Amino acid sequence: MMILHYVEDHGYRPPEEFLKSLTDAERLTWDWRAERLATVLLDKSEDLDFRCEAIADLAHWKDPRALDALTRAARDEELVDVAGVDLGRSLGGVAVR
């Protein structure tokens, strides 16, 4: 948050090595955490707040299963009404990679 503050308010530009590392970050390997997030996201009996949080968290896995879960979630009218913007961002982030 402090880096963002200095970039936005003071014109700070982080070193190129730092900026490159942001785009070169390794993909997270699909594991039990991602599987749990996908399960929570798609389970309509789960708490809606947890499902909404799973939308953003699941986007960290650049994996076809994440894209599939997010795409399926996009068909859920309740989720789209509550977290449509976050859902769109997460879909875009996963699909681009």
Q: Which residues contact 48 (CB under 8 A, 6 or more apart)?
A: 78, 79, 82
Q: Give domain limits for the chain.
A: 28-96
C-alpha to C-alpha distance for 78 and 55, rounded to whole angstroms: 13
Selection from 45, 67, 27 nearest residue 55 by Cα: 67
> Which ranges constitute the DSSP H helices of the chain?
2-10, 16-23, 32-42, 48-58, 64-73, 77-96
C-alpha to C-alpha distance for 32 and 19, rounded to whole angstroms: 30
pTM, two decimals, is 0.71
- The confidence score (pLDDT) of residue 4 equals 73
The model's pLDDT over 18-77, given as tens digits with 9 standing for 90+, comes to 777 666 666 688 999 999 999 999 999 999 999 999 999 998 888 899 999 999 999 999
